[in-house]
Amino acid sequence: MKIDYKKILPALCVAGAALALAGTFLIKHPAGTDRPVTRVSVILPHNDDAYWSLVRNSIEEADQELGDKYNIDIKIFVPQLNYNIPQMTELLRQQVAAKVDVLVIQGNEDAQFRAVLEKAHEEGIQIICVDTPCQDFPYDLYVGTDNRAAGEMIGRELARLTDGQADVAVVSGEEGYLNLEERLEGFRDALVDYPGIHIQDVCYDEYDGLTFMQLYHDLSDEADALVCLEGTGGQTVYHTYAQRDDTYRVIVGFDSYDGVRSGVLDGVVKQDTEQMGWKVVEEIAGYIENGRYSAEEIYTDIMWLTSENYDEVMKE
């Protein structure tokens, strides 16, 4: 029988592509494992160069270490616009429709976002909050900073830097994020013992550098100390000024490591982003192995970073 190769060539190409994909799959998840694939979708709010990219890198590193052994398939999604909740909600909706096994998200209190999360929870999808928990929501695991403790830390350090005397402006990211509200509560708690420190304003920059810089200048009319409760503020100051200006006597914040090293900021709370990402993947592996997480809340380390202890802390 004469074979018409022109007719069967497309089928051969499809078969070859399928084998290539199967080979890739077997490299990631070796043949012989008796574990089904656990599909994990991670939805991060931002792909910055100072915080969320570090969390992402650590998730990917942990996946390289544990993914094959436990047959974990992790996909990471980021909205086109930073911290855009409608886009994150749509990504979440798509992953719920795909019936993944685990969702890893930064919590927020948006009603539509929470409604999709509730649907996921009802369908038996495991929900892990990283960095930010959800208020009064039955997620399965939280991995991240004890944000109240972080707020207390920045309050105590501000008191030390100002000798307990300051008029303070506070800039946060956006209302509705439990981690930021907990930091503010912890900050206020720490200042109870320092009657000479007065909070003049609490404002929100919506995670936007231009908005922050407008607040930076406006708030200095009444304040001589600036507290940034998330990374946008410190990063924006660092990228705007090559060296410290005289707008504020003291500036403290979160996660702006280069800002501390350059002296533009007096100190920041350093969150352990590497630990966050690794713990997320380790806990998923533990759930696969044991049918449970090691705890409902896992707090990762925080450290106070200054120019004086920079080399020591950054080695840890």
pLDDT at 19: 30
Distance CA 65, CA 242 (A): 39
Q: Which residues of 205-219 are buried (b: 16+ CB within 10 A; e: fewer)?
A: bebbbebbeebbeeb
| pLDDT-derived band at 301, boundaries 50, 70, 90 | very high
Distance CA 225, CA 91 (A): 39
Q: Does residue 9 surpass a pLDDT of 60?
A: no
Q: Does residue 315 surpass a pLDDT of 90?
A: no
Report the predicted TM-score, pTM, of the whole model to 2 decimal places.
0.83
Per DSSP, 242 falls in state S
pLDDT at 35: 86
pLDDT at 33: 60
- The vertex-113 CA angle with 207 and 152, nearest 5°, equals 50
Domains of the chain: 34-145+273-300 (3.40.50.2300), 147-271+306-315 (3.40.50.2300)
Q: Does residue 85 surpass a pLDDT of 90?
A: yes
Look up residue 89 and give its amino acid. T
Mean pLDDT along residues 289-299: 96
Top pLDDT among 82 and 75 is at 75
Distance CA 181, CA 115 (A): 21
Tell me the three state secondary structure of residue 280: helix
Mean pLDDT along residues 150-156: 98
Closest CA to 169 of 240, 214, 220, 245: 220
Per DSSP, 265 falls in state S
Percent of the chain surpassing pLDDT 90: 80
- Taking all residues of the chain, what is their mean pLDDT, rounded to a whole number? 89
Mean pLDDT along residues 302-312: 95
The tens digit of pLDDT for each residue in 59-71 reads 999 999 999 999 9
Tell me the three state secondary structure of residue 277: helix
